[in-house]
Amino acid sequence: MSNKNSILLVDPEFDPNTAPACNLLLKITSDSFSYAIIDKSSKQLKVIYDLQDCNDGAVELAKSIKNDSYLSLSFREIKASAYTVNSIAIPNELYHAIDLDHYSRFFTEEQSNTLYVQPVTKFGFNSIFTFQNFVEQTLMASMQDCKRYDHTAPALAIAAKLSGDHLILDFTAGSFNALYMKNGKLIFQHYYEVENAEEFNYYLLLMIKQLNIDKIFTQVQVSGIVNEDDPYFSALTKYFNTIELNPPVNDDIDHSLLEDMPAHYYTSLLALDLCE
């Protein structure tokens, strides 16, 4: 632990010289910053860092790049997912690569000059997005070759493993990402910032009503910073019959580094490794 809001777990056998065989995963939200290092040769999780309840995850990314020796290593592949309001989903039948610049007209906040396209093959659409200027400049300065994904990518990678009716909720200390699937099809996705369980309960009821979610047959998959004994989880038990804490979905990776931790805390971070 470096402070009350952060944690660093390192496999004692991790050799930094093996970094060229490892993937680095970065997840930046409005109120958190986390990263993981996975050795793709041994298929083992080697390092987890997580900082919650911070003022700005992008600022913490910049600080960590400057001060954290692990982030200065040379990796096999780097993948970064960052929260951005400049993200839209275009169905495959409406997407035309030649019109890419036109999609930026839908963005509402200052954007970087680079548009990214994230194909979501499982659900038949493309996410088109830009990062905030500060995030883009930070990555360009130190991790220019990293693959970029918007904040929906990890949750979509989790959803791609499922079929049937599911409500997928991924929490940070002050926000949650929600995806709703009906008969295996993605119906809804949204990112919410919340201050307390009462506010979460309001948004939960709003989703149930507006999306006409079947509370009996819909399975709820929960990951991130939430536990069975906290008020967020208790709010879910008032409405749904089946609620599961969703462990990492990377079936081929050894996660024994997390054996003394709630593994579901890092499910979405690790799911970033599944993104193409």
Task: Inform me whether the pLDDT recorded for 3 exceeds 60.
Answer: no
Report the percentage of the chain scoring pLDDT > 90.
84
CA neighbor of 123 nearest in space, from 85, 151, 163: 163
* pLDDT tier at 2, thresholds 50, 70, 90: very low
Q: Report yes or no: 35 and 24 within 8 Å, Cβ to Cβ.
A: yes
Distances (CA, A) of 64 to 35, 75, 182: 10, 16, 39
**Across-strand partners of 175?**
193
Q: How far apart are CA 36 and CA 45, in angstroms?
A: 8
CA neighbor of 77 nearest in space, from 121, 40, 35: 40
pLDDT digits (tens, 9 = 90+) for 221-274: 999 999 999 999 999 999 999 999 999 999 899 999 999 999 999 999 999 999
Task: Inform me whether the pLDDT recorded for 4 exceeds 80.
Answer: no
- Please give the structure tokens belonging to residue 275: 């993104």
pLDDT digits (tens, 9 = 90+) for 100-132: 888 877 787 666 778 899 999 999 999 999 998
Q: How far apart are CA 177 and CA 243, in angstroms?
A: 16
Mean of pLDDT values over 10-18: 97
* Residue-level pLDDT at 1: 34
Buried b (16+ CB within 10 A) or exposed e, 62-95: bebbeeeebbeeebeebbbbbbbebbebbeeeeb
- Please give the structure tokens belonging to residue 134: 């500060």
- Check residue 246 and report its DSSP letter: -
What is the reported pTM? 0.93
Q: Provide CB contacts within 8 A for 269, sequence distance 6+.
A: 25, 27, 34, 35, 36, 48, 50, 154
pLDDT digits (tens, 9 = 90+) for 137-151: 999 999 988 999 999
* Residue-level pLDDT at 184: 94
Chain-wide mean pLDDT for the chain? 93
Task: Inform me whether the pLDDT recorded for 55 exceeds 90.
Answer: no
* Residue-level pLDDT at 114: 85
* Distance between start and end Cα atoms, the chain: 32
